[in-house]
Chains A and B, each alone.
Chain A
Amino acid sequence: KPVSMNAFELISRSQSFSLDKLFEK
């Protein structure tokens, strides 16, 4: 239900923004 979310919530929930992978071995 993307329309019920604000754009920043959408961005924060997506995998587009994740630095976790920097720590993967």
Chain B
Amino acid sequence: MGCFCLKKLRHKPGYEAPINLASETPFTVNEVEALYDLFKKLSSSIIDDGLIHKEEFQLALFKTSNKQNLFADRIFDLFDIKHNGVIEFGEFVRSLSVFHPNAPEADKIAFLFRLYDLRQTGCIEAEELKEMVTALLCENNLSLSEDVVDLIVEKTMMEADTKRDGKIDDEEWKEFVKKNPSIIKIMTLSDLKELTLAFPSFVMNSGVSDL
């Protein structure tokens, strides 16, 4: 009589069932499992503990784990929904789902607002805007005089801060995005639509088929 071993698939802490994540997001079960392949790769690049640490996130984005980048830091903080300093699998999938081409536009607009609200005051202030423009210039090795940076910030506030109270609130932000739709293009990642093509290794391992 033959003998076989049933090896139970063990997942790291923070793992969530793809079927649950697929029911909450625009991803199919197959795509969530493909994202798990990507997550495993990212979360084991420095410490193999099934969690994405900030250094691992930076390593994936910049090929170095010690590059300071304001926007990457903000994205990491928003992905870290539980605010415990790491990104778990469920957080990774839920956060990335906002970048899916089929995700609701309102979610993309709200996510970007939170990203730019550096101090989480519920508004984007002129000072935060200046900080972001200065950081972006610095991170791209560009230099503009402070006067020019002030002009850019002033011009933006003139356009967006329609209540003239020195800050952009949620309502003003939505109106501003309506007039400048190109600014939310960065909230869509086309790669998320063809995930199982990007990670074909998964299809070999999966018993699930969306086709």
**Contact of B152 with A20 in the complex, beta carbons under 8 Å:** no
Q: Which residue of B lies closest to A21 (CB)?
A: B61
**Contact of B186 with A12 in the complex, beta carbons under 8 Å:** yes
- In the complex the two chains form, what is the Cα distance from A14 to B138 in whole Å? 11
**Contact of B152 with A6 in the complex, beta carbons under 8 Å:** yes
**Contact of A16 with B148 in the complex, beta carbons under 8 Å:** no
Closest Cβ–Cβ distance, residue A11 to chain B (whole Å): 6
Range class of the A interface residue count: 20 to 34
**Contact of B136 with A16 in the complex, beta carbons under 8 Å:** yes
Among B8-16, B20-28, B127-135, the stretch in contact with A: B127-135
Q: Which residue of A lies closest to B62 (CB)?
A: A21
A-B pairs with CB below 8 Å: how many?
Answer: 80
**Contact of A16 with B152 in the complex, beta carbons under 8 Å:** no
**Contact of A6 with B156 in the complex, beta carbons under 8 Å:** yes
**Apart from A3-B152, A6-B156, A7-B156, 5 more pairs, CB < 8 Å:** A6-B183, A7-B132, A14-B139, A16-B72, A18-B186
Chain B residues near A (Cβ < 8 Å): 38, 42, 60-62, 69-72, 75, 96, 99, 116, 129, 132-133, 135-136, 139-140, 144, 148, 151-153, 155-156, 159-160, 176, 180, 182-186, 189, 191, 198
13 A-B pairs within 8 Å (CB atoms) are namely: A6-B180, A6-B183, A7-B153, A8-B160, A9-B180, A9-B182, A10-B133, A11-B133, A16-B136, A17-B71, A19-B99, A22-B61, A23-B189
